[in-house]
Amino acid sequence: MKEAFKGRVWKLGDDIDTDIIIPTQFLALKTVEDMKKYAFNPLRPELAAQIEPGDIIVAGKNFGCGSSREQAPEILAALKISCIIAKSYARIFYRNAFNNGLLLLENNELYDCCSEGDQVSVQLENSQVLLGEKSFEVASIPTDLLQMVEAGGLVPFMRKRNGK
Amino acid sequence: MGMTMGEKILARASGKDLVKPGEIITAKVDLCMSNDGTTHLNIDIFENQLKAEKVFDPKKVIFIVDHNVPSESAKTAQVHKKMRIFAQKHDIPFYEGTGVCHQIMIEDFVVPGQLVIAADSHTCSYGGLGAFGTGVGCTDFTSVMHTGEIWLMVPETLKFEIEGSFKAGVYARDLILKIIGDIGANGANYKIMEFGGPAVKKFTVDDRVVLCNMAVEAGAKTGLVEPDQIAIDYVTARGRHDMNLFTSDVDAVYEKTYQYNLDELEPMIAIPHCVDDVVGVTQIGEVKIDQGFIGSCNNGRIEELRAAAQILQGKKIDPYVKLLISPASKAVYLEALAEGLIDIFVESGAMVLNPNCSVCWGSCQGVIGEGETLISTGTRNFKGRAGHPNSSVYLASAATVAASALTGRITDPRGFVV
């Protein structure tokens, strides 16, 4: 896991649910690559095409609420979002995100201070997010979870550990 | 210091005498279940990535096809085929088209005191029988299916003390909508919602399931009701006798306690596009509808069908409204047939569908178009949940849906029931 990285902000609101992240009708598509074009389709259909690798999603409370569909974090990982920084997450989404190599950080203030298009810089070694001159603290993520994110998720991490 | 019933279930599952909120445990799972929403992904991980050979216990892994059944495309047929082949190969219980997965689990498998993990968010329904059910994604599920174990953090518990009794036309569905509206879509995030008090002690298992099923819509890890003779009778009548009756200690620690009185409750509606945006039916104003839906793991059981039939009996639905009704399981369907409810529905102009997730899942039946409005007994009203991104879903009780289908606009059912 890179200890420090920068990214452009896409700002989403509170209660971004899993049906918004990937609507039911696209779940039968064969691959995650096919599905990722429809990320956030009901809310902002143009967004998936605009997201570039390394971009950061900043959101309000309860990100990922709703169903247990793992395609939701999977497509965000496939869009190469470098991390999500939200006020809080729904619990099933939280587990699913780390299991799929998607880094989630939690901070209550950043959302209200940043604008879409801002550059923020994430420093994992001291658990800070920087926006211009301002810094925001995020809860530190245990090393083994960061290693899991770096490996691409739980299954690749287990295979790597087992030498398969 | 005592424990809540949820803590006791997790203590038993992890082989401990005592657990506390915040503690991380490795628990043995009593049952695990996956449906056609995501099982094809589990099988891929299991066979191709983990290269696993056996499930941990073929009697405790259950596959249920309920989300897109009967299949509406070659793609979903392929998913079902994959599940069928895997289930046959591993000799595990397999259901296809027999009902919504949680209803089948409650009818055929769950007993009080169990820990049940399933790859579906509404697994929290099993609290209606005093079992701890919680939903996970397909990666966690695959690991459970392979090892029979899962790590879990012990959550804090919120207590909901319910007293009074429902007025005519008001149901458990209205109560849970009211609670979610009050505490918010993340008001119980990560926590256990324990429902109790004198009113809940008299609730049927169906009504207890209605409460626990939607705990996840407030973010909860599970919903629970203390098991008693009503729960025991339900499972023993279905031939299951081995169970653990965990109840909360008098000195158990709750993060917070909420009080509700059913005497004061009116029919409630969740308006688009959040489950916690809830108003009383008397505040809803004029809302025209295009479709009604009665069914789902929340509200497709016999008691809800009876409530709808009472309103629809001898009447015709609005000619420009569709009403779709899907009993939650084969057993519920047969009961409804025996009671003559299906005749009432068909004669009223409703379409009766096979037991499945149906309109609530928004993919295979009754998908709504641009600008259309659905009133539903389903679990969610997220933007685009039932079809077109620019459509609207209102959530209400089966009685409110039935009354609304008659008039073509959202209607207070209290004028239709005695």
Other CB atoms within a 10 A radius of the CB of residue B358 amount to 29
The shortest C-alpha distance from A18 to chain B (Å) reads: 9
Are B137 and A65 an interchain contact pair (Cβ–Cβ within 8 Å)?
A: no
Does A70 reach chain B within 8 Å, measured CB to CB? Answer: yes
Taking one residue from A and the other from B, the number of pairs with CB-CB distance under 8 angstroms is 116
Measure the CA–CA gap between B324 and B305, rounded to whole angstroms: 12
Complex ipTM value: 0.86
Output the pTM of the full model: 0.94
Sign (positive or negative) of CA dihedral A16, A17, A19, A21: positive
Is the CB of residue B384 less than 8 Å away from at least one CB of chain A?
yes
Q: How far B49 CA lies from chain A's nearest CA (Å)?
A: 7
Token pair recorded at residue B207: 């009504």
pLDDT in tens, chain B (418 residues): 899 999 999 999 999 999 999 898 999 999 999 999 999 999 999 999 888 999 999 999 999 999 999 999 998 999 999 999 999 999 999 999 999 999 999 999 999 999 999 999 999 999 999 999 999 999 999 999 999 999 999 999 999 999 999 999 999 999 999 999 999 999 999 999 999 999 999 999 999 999 999 999 999 999 999 999 999 999 999 999 999 999 999 999 999 999 999 999 999 999 999 999 999 999 999 999 999 999 999 999 999 999 999 999 999 999 999 999 999 999 999 999 999 999 999 999 999 999 999 999 988 899 999 999 999 999 999 999 999 999 999 999 999 999 999 999 999 999 998 7
Distance from CA of B34 to the nearest CA of A (A): 11
Quick one: DSSP state of residue B155?
P
Report which of A112, A116, A139, A37 is spatially closest to residue A79, judged by C-alpha positions: A37
DSSP A17: B
User: Going by C-beta distance under 8 Å and a sequence separation of 6 or more, which residues neighbour residue B155?
Assistant: B6, B21, B190, B191, B192, B221
Residue B53 CB-half CA count within 13 A: 0
Mutate to test the interface with B, among A19, A29, A102 (most CBs of B within 10 A): A19
- Chain A contact present for B38, CB below 8 A: yes
